[in-house]
Structure 1
């Protein structure tokens, strides 16, 4: 009998964890068993389980080497291979190691097998194997290389499978200016929330360019964005940027149609857009308090399809056409698969069917490699090409905004946000040729004071073992995609680099278990990509974060995330920003918190009661605690000279006005963190939150717009005075 709990240990399923209250929690053995089931092990069928484990082990010895070895500057330069013990009976047996470098060069070395250290012995199916530790003597450049081993002896002549050898820096990228002591501020923005005179009812990449340049003129050095990941164009209810269809592609809702070059050569599209009926639609969309995703997408897709149908976008005789064709070629099969998915969604939408998942396709379209899918894509080649064209435009416009910021002298420019995962109905899961996603599981978090029942985010986890078997290629591709056109990337729920809380689909979040990932490998790969893309990494490490992860993030040079309202000292006071660690980004509020006005005036608590999140007595207790916190904040600011001595010292007399709001921004800017992130909402006094965690339909999450147009914000004297004070504080 296979010991299921021991197997869970071997596969990285935790037995216990320290919860948010710093209490040791033991994970139920049944939940650990469920985690194994999610990872693909048939735990309820001993014979089937034995077969799976035997096949895994057989492949291990057959291949001789692991699928991947990741080596950073701090590691011993070595790898392991396995060979039949009988090979060592020949004293003249040799080992040849060939490394094909990323640039095509080859490095080859042959030594006697007897000179390679034996790490351990293991017997499998009656054969004894040596596991040998091979020390690499050559200095390899950073990058993705291929390694193979050949053993030649009288008894054994064998060549290994190809192993991916990934060589990386240890420390992540950090701009020289910041490393030399420069402290900067920037803005975090939900791009969809931006109002402007010219957008179509949602913030777009033209607005992003304007926002970046406006922030730079005010002294800021970056604009942080909500995830730009591809959404569901034909399911306007799926709007959360943290539950995307693909993390490898861009949400087409942000395309600025007015900035599409082909529009100039398309009188049909110009006539459509300038018609009174169309302009009236745009006026209505702009004036709405909340983003109307359905209305925006209908208008944009109609106009963009008109352009596509009337202009030859892939004309080989033009530079523009060649640029598009090169984009399609570079995108390869992955881009074709993504475009096919959206084209299929459109096909069923046009037939009057509501389809928001590949699981709702006819069964012959469930498998991306199905001949039916290939035949459909060929038959609907124009539709597939249209969605490739949309990705081309989105990528081009995001890049253009970033380049404009860098040309204006912005130190970081755009910083992008990487969501923790995708839902099982996503294109990424449908197109999962590597079979790394586990659709019977869901990512979330265990019970804590903010969520006594735990949280279930409905995101499909990746198998740690499958990622290794595929040499992390799906992750590497995703990291590369999201480090394009930006100077920094924020990793949402960075705890996922170390462990994820998994539950079976349908089970409550409390019946989950932590599954561990290879932190060393993931951080090393991120370090490599951060240098290649000159991209600073910010890891969202709020909440219940294991000490092992905290230490590793600091060691690798990833920036931590510090929110002011969470910075409470043991005596109940607030930690002075100058005492924060340098290697971090600080912020007053985030997209999951109330705005500054909302927090100070308890609007989130009254709203929480309306939505059924808090009982009256719970809200009252939280309000009482917050009143104390507000006084301690005011005490701290007066004590550190962050606010004028003439400002009220009793919180009962202090209102969230321009003076207090500016003082709080300056208070954080005077701190030691490399970066400080402010929010446009807090510049202009927005009271409604972006998102209320734990709600779905109760509140219009991810739809709330700003209360002022972008053009007016950067002419607001109060905003200019606030940002001037922030810049001066950072420069000090």
Structure 2
């Protein structure tokens, strides 16, 4: 069919497989919508035929795809194309060319014989050969004998990302949930800095993994989810420790009384969470911090600080100006740019330029916040490394951004209009999922040499020892859902995974940082193997590690993969105490989320836990048994779970910080919105009493669990074998 052929040439799937033995056809409506979002006319049979003919002609006549990839250390390529040039690079399904890039080898093979090549390197050097190029994003030029010329972005990347130096363990925590007696009602970067210094020195931890610190969409109320941000490139100033800003100490005497009043209100807000059981109120925290930051901003920067700020502005350039302009405009017109006056919806319009000039004071305020937050994040990472951590902070990259936010406004040309990212129907969600995040257009990424993606990674690696990529399968393909349609009526759109991985390897290697891919759930064949080949660590969660192709029983530790972060749970799953006791079933029953009788759910959950506890007992990990597995205390069972993780060859072992004090409440309960306080709970003990950072540091239960990790040799131990 012409539509299927056209879709294949743009990387749009016409079917998908929810399980290995089942294939489902994507609707023509979804395919046409995806093509339309890619700028391809496909609304009628005539339009499809015309677009197909145009695309085939384009692919046949072009010399180079927009981006090509060469892996450093690979087979050297010739400086000109030999006589046996091929007909064109092929996609995985055999069709020539796609919207993405290709390997340099394939691109050269497709060029006419005698084509001359030259390279302008990222360092500004002109090369007449493509051999032994330095890593970077260069410009490749081709001149064919028939007079045709072409330019392409040439990504030269190390074939493998940095790897852990041995094995280590660390803590996993949602920063907002970690309150100290100095925070303002939610955890902040001062608390994170204290945590890294303490965990590195007192516990021997090698890393602290945190939630996405991306800037949120302001609102009333603000969406508390860190996975639907306004911007992924800039951090959220709500996490600032205001007192740690150097200018705080020099606030004018006339403003000092107002500042002290704000500190008093902040103390009451903190106490309402820690002592009275209130939820974390992000909006209330930001209201206080914003007012305090306005006062602090009135203090003139010293010469050195002014120079540092100016350097930051110059380095960030237009991207920061756009970011700060969006926040300034949002104060006037609301936080959804699609509802702003027409002229302001375009960041490059004359109307936006005039508004920016009129709001320059507010633009500067939001630019200053980005600078201050960036600096405090860098301080937290330095604190981690100074404390002896091999890795330090592990930051989290969300899948996408809010459609009404700053990134979607400033980078409209690279987002697919009218589409949303989600997941197809599967055994866990028969209706599929729509995450409400606009996807990047693979064609526009390739045309830009993946510039938005490069800038994003570079910004995050600036203060990260490692980066966790949420839904790492999105480097290969994403489920696109037409806006206004159910998630069942979507289809997959493929990205150039080789180029996405090359950019990732390039930026990670420059930063000397690890990369961890969240590869849980349904993963298409070959993806995990490709990620492992390039050094991307996976994510293995205890309860999901079973022999799914055989007995279905828990996977013994020696059968786990080595190249992964191994944990007992995550922010989207029940804490370990909740799973061991079955509390997670009771919670879902109270909220009306069960799809089967509660008795069946309880029995299945108990059987699942029973099988794991039986394995732990057989391995002799349930220490202190007084008469069988059933008599083990909850605390001993949690310790046994982590002893098991140490038995695996996993290079990184993560401890969910709430597990260390017996917290039973998940930070996020998928499938809920207002039924459950997602992303608003402080770390608490088994009784639900909030536990401060100071109390964590003195907790006998926490230290007993950490001693299990230390005795197990997780930190500084030998390189594990696969």
Residue pair 2:170, 2:208 contacting (<8 A) in 1 also = yes
- Flag the 1:14–1:58 CA change in 2: closer, same or farther, 3 A: closer
1:274 matched to 2:274? no
Going from structure 1 to structure 2, the CA distance change for 1:157 and 1:35 (only over 3 Å counts) comes to: closer
Aligned to 2:9: 10
Most deviating of 218-227 and 606-615 = 606-615
* Contact 2:2 2:49 (C-alpha < 8 Å) held by counterparts: no
Q: Say if 1:722 and 1:663 are closer, same or farther in 2 by CA, change over 3 A.
A: same
In the alignment, the residues of structure 1 paired with residue 643 and residue 27 of structure 2 have an alpha-carbon distance, to the nearest angstrom, of 48
Q: How does 1:635-650 map to 2 (within 5 A)?
A: 635-644=614-623, 646-650=625-629
- Alignment of 1:191 onto 2:171: no
Q: Which of 665, 684, 701 is the aligned partner of 2:642? A: 665
1:301 — aligned with what?
Answer: 290
Write the deviation string for residues 415-464 of structure 1: whole angstroms up to 9, x where unpaired: 0011111121121110015x110131111111122211111101101121
**Aligned position for 1:721:** 704
Corresponding residue for 1:312? 300
Is the counterpart of residue 147 in structure 1 residue 137 in structure 2? no
Secondary structure of 1:35's counterpart equals helix
Distance in 2, matches of 1:531 and 1:729, equals: 30
Q: Distance in 1 between matches of 2:361 and 2:65?
A: 43
Q: Deviations over 1:510-541 (max 9, x none)?
A: 11111111111111221111111111011111
Aligned to 1:88: none
1:310-329 CA-to-partner distances (Å, cap 9, x unmatched) read 2234x6xx011000011011
- Structure 1 residue 392 corresponds to structure 2 residue 371: yes
CA contact under 8 A between 1:285 and 1:292: conserved in structure 2? Answer: no
Instruction: Name the CA shift for 1:623/1:39 in 2 (closer, same or farther; >3 Å).
Output: farther
* Deviations 1:100-148 (CA, angstroms, capped at 9, x unpaired): 1111121136xxxxxxxxxxxxxxxxxxxxxxxxxx3x21011111122
Q: Tell me, yes or no, if structure 1 residue 709 matches structure 2 residue 698.
A: no
What aligned pairs does 1:367-406 form with structure 2 within 5 A after superposition?
367-406=346-385
Aligned to 1:398, the other structure's residue is in SS state: helix
Tell me, what secondary structure is at the counterpart of 1:423? coil
- Structure 1 residue aligned with 2:555: 575
Alignment of 1:312-711 (within 5 A): 312-313=300-301, 318-348=303-333, 355-432=334-411, 435-569=413-547, 570-615=550-595, 617-644=596-623, 646-651=625-630, 653-656=631-634, 658-706=635-683, 707-711=690-694
Cα gap change, 1:239/1:311 in structure 2, threshold over 3 Å: closer, same or farther? same
* 1:690, distance to aligned residue in structure 2 (A): 0.3
* Deviation for aligned residue 1:11: 1.5
Per-residue CA distance 1:336-362 (angstroms, 9 max, x = gap): 0000000111223xxxxxx23101212
- 1:25 aligns with 24
Question: Partner residue of 1:231?
Answer: 216
Q: What RMSD in Å do the two structures reach over aligned CA positions? A: 2.5
Distance 1:66 1:692, change over 3 A: same
Aligned equivalents of 1:79 and 1:597: distance in 2? Answer: 62
Report the counterpart of residue 172 of structure 1 in structure 2: 161
How many residue pairs get matched? 672
Unaligned runs of 5+ in 1: 84-92, 110-135, 349-354
Shift of 1:635: 1.0
Cα 1:618–1:645, aligned 2, differ >3 Å: closer, same or farther? Answer: same
SS in 1 for 2:713: helix
CA distance in 1, matches of 2:16, 2:698: 51
Deviations 1:74-99 (A, max 9, x none): 4663799999xxxxxxxxx9754331
Tell me the SS of whatever aligns to 1:19: strand
2:109 equivalent in structure 1: none
How far is the alpha carbon of 1:555 from its aligned partner? 1.1
| 1:106 aligned onto 2:126 | yes
Note the alpha carbon deviations across 1:152-204, whole angstroms, 9 max, x for none: x6xx55543x32111011111114x22xxxx2110111001011010101111
CA separation of 1:62/1:327 partners in 2, compared to 1, >3 Å: closer, same or farther?
A: farther
Whole-angstrom distance in 1 between the partners of 2:147 and 2:36: 38
| d(CA) in 2 for partners of 1:241, 1:544 | 23
Q: Hey, what does 1:77 align to over in structure 2?
A: 77
Distance in 1 separating the partners of 2:198 and 2:427: 40
SS in 2 for 1:730: coil
Distance of 1:659 and 1:253 partners within structure 2: 38
Measured in 2, the distance between the counterparts of 1:332 and 1:635 equals 58
- Whether contact under 8 Å (1:70, 1:524) holds in the other structure is yes
Equivalent-residue separation in structure 2 for 1:515 and 1:97 (angstroms): 32
Q: Structure 2: which 5+ residue stretches go unaligned?
A: 87-112, 684-689, 718-722
Deviation at 1:666, TM superposition (A): 2.0
Give me the whole-angstrom Cα distance separating, in 2, the residues matched to 1:378 and 1:53.
Answer: 46
Which residue is 1:127 aligned to?
Answer: none
Q: What is the distance in 2 between the residues matched to 1:240 and 1:599? A: 23
